[in-house]
Amino acid sequence: MKDNPGGAPADPWDTIDDLWKWLETDQPVGGREGLLLRMLKLSEEVGEVAEAVIGATGQNPRKGVTHTWEDVEAELCDVVITAMVALRTLTPEAREVFGRQLARVAGRPRGT
């Protein structure tokens, strides 16, 4: 995998493929159940975003401010990564599927 000067991979899908391969080699539960558990991981990650937002805004009076907006950023990135790995789990053509969907969404009419 080639890196850019800033340290980010040239193609994030290369990293996603590496993560997917790593997860597949040490998967405690396989088959359909493993696939479903991989999809449920998204809910866990979204919950961590919610926890970070609540913590960044101090909305839990018992705990106060426990997170930063940088924590929220990191958790949102975890959601994106987890979704990309989940998509790669469903199809080896994940980058093409994502590209087509992104193009569809970008091409939707936008209100004024």
| Cβ atoms < 10 Å from Cβ of 88 | 23
What's the pTM value of the predicted model, to 2 decimals?
Answer: 0.86
Q: If 0-12 CB within 10 Å is exposed, 13-18 middle and 19+ buried, where does residue 100 land?
A: exposed
Residues near 60 by Cβ (< 8 Å), separated by ≥ 6?
54, 66
What is the tens place of the pLDDT at every residue in 50-61? 999 999 999 999
What percent of the chain shows pLDDT beyond 90? 82
Contact yes or no for 22/38 (Cβ under 8 A): no
